[in-house]
A and B are shown apart, each in its own frame.
Chain A
Amino acid sequence: METQQNHLTIPIIKIPQGRLGMWVLIAGELVIFGGLICFYLLNRIRYPHWGDMAAHTNTFIGALNTVVLLVSSYTVVRAHQAALKMDVAKVRLWLSCTLLGGILFLVDKSIEYAHEISEGFTFTSPKLVAAGDHVGSLFWSYYYIMTGLHGAHVLAGMTVMLIILIQTRKGKNMHRVELAGMYWHMVDLIWIFLFPLLYIAK
Chain B
Amino acid sequence: MENLHQNKSFWSKYVFSTDHKTIGTQYMIMGMIMAGVGGYLAYVFRYNLAFPGKSIPFYGMLGPQAYNAFVTIHGMIMVFWVGMPVLLSALGNYLIPIMIGSDDMAFPTVNMLSFWIFAVSALVLIASFFVPGGAFGGGWTMYPPFSAQGYVNHNPNFFTALFSGTSLLILAVALELVAMLMGGINFLVTTINKRAKGMTPWRIPVIIWFINIAAVIFMFSVGPLVAGAFMLLFDNVLGTGFYDPHRGGDPMLWEHLFWFFGHPEVYVLLLPSLGVLAEIVPVFSRKPLFAYKTVIYLALLSAFLSVLVWAHHQFVAGIDPRMATFFSIGTILISIPFAGIFLSYMATLWGGSIRMKLPMLWAIGFIGLFLVGGLTGLFLGSNTFDIYAHDTYFVVAHFHYTLFPDIFFGFFAAFYYWFPKFTGKELNAKLGKWHFWLTFIFFNGVFFLLFFNGLAGQHRRINDYSSFSLISREPYQTFEQIATVCAIGLMLSQFIFLYNFITSFRKGKKAVKNPWESTTLEWQSDSPPPHGNFNPYPEVHRGAYDYSLPEAKEDFTPQNVPNVN
A interface residue numbers (CB < 8 A to B): 1, 4-5, 8-13, 15, 17, 20-21, 24-25, 27-36, 38-39, 42-43, 47, 123-124, 129, 134-135, 137-138, 141-142, 145, 149
- Which residues, 246 to 304 on B, are CB-close (under 8 Å) to A? 246-250, 253, 257
One of B102-110, B119-127, B347-355, B488-496 at the interface: B102-110
Q: Which residue in A9, A15, A129, A145 is a CB contact (below 8 Å) of B537?
A: A9
Other-chain contact of B247, A20, A42, A137 (Cβ < 8 Å): A137
- Minimum CB distance partner of B107 in chain A: A21
- Chain A residue with minimal CB distance to B225? A35
Q: List, in ascending order, chain B residues with CB within 8 A of A31's CB.
A: 219-220, 222-224
A17 CB contacts on chain B under 8 angstroms: 106-107, 189, 193-194
If A9-B537, A32-B223, A123-B240 touch, whether A47 touches B194 (CB-CB below 8 Å) is no
Chain A residues contacting B234 (CB-CB under 8 Å) are 123, 141, 145
A11 touches B181 (CB 8 A): no
Q: How far is the CB of A154 from chain B (nearest CB, A)?
A: 17
- Closest chain B residue, CB of each to CB of A7: B537
A29 to B240, CA, bound (A): 24
A141 contacts B241, C-beta separation under 8 Å: yes
Q: What are 26 residue pairs bridging A and B, where the CB atoms are less than 8 Å apart in the complex? A: A12-B195, A12-B200, A15-B192, A17-B189, A17-B193, A17-B194, A20-B106, A20-B189, A21-B186, A24-B185, A24-B189, A27-B219, A28-B219, A29-B223, A30-B223, A31-B220, A34-B224, A35-B225, A36-B224, A39-B242, A42-B253, A124-B240, A124-B241, A134-B247, A138-B247, A142-B242
New contact pairs (15) apart from A8-B197, A28-B181, A31-B222, CB-CB < 8 Å: A9-B103, A11-B194, A12-B200, A13-B193, A17-B106, A32-B227, A34-B224, A35-B257, A39-B224, A42-B253, A43-B248, A124-B239, A134-B247, A138-B241, A141-B242
User: With a CB–CB cut-off of 8 A, which chain B residues contact A32?
Assistant: 223-224, 226-227
Residue of B nearest to A12 (CB): B195
Is the beta-carbon distance between B241 and A24 smaller than 8 angstroms?
no
B75 on interface, CB distance cutoff 8 Å? no
Contact of B208 with A by CB under 8 A: no
A145 to B181, CA, bound (A): 21
Specify which chain B residues have a CB less than 8 angstroms from the CB of A141 in the assembled complex: 234, 240-242
* B-side interface size class: 35 or more
- Nearest A residue to B178 via CB reads A28
Which residues of B sit under 8 angstroms from A25, Cβ to Cβ?
185
A144 CB, nearest partner CB in chain B, Å = 9
Which residue on chain A has the smallest CB distance to residue B110? A21
The smallest C-beta distance from B33 to any residue of chain A, in angstroms, reads 28
B228 within 8 A of A: yes
Q: Is the Cβ of B1 less than 8 Å from the Cβ of A1? A: yes
CB neighbours (8 Å) of A142 from chain B are 242
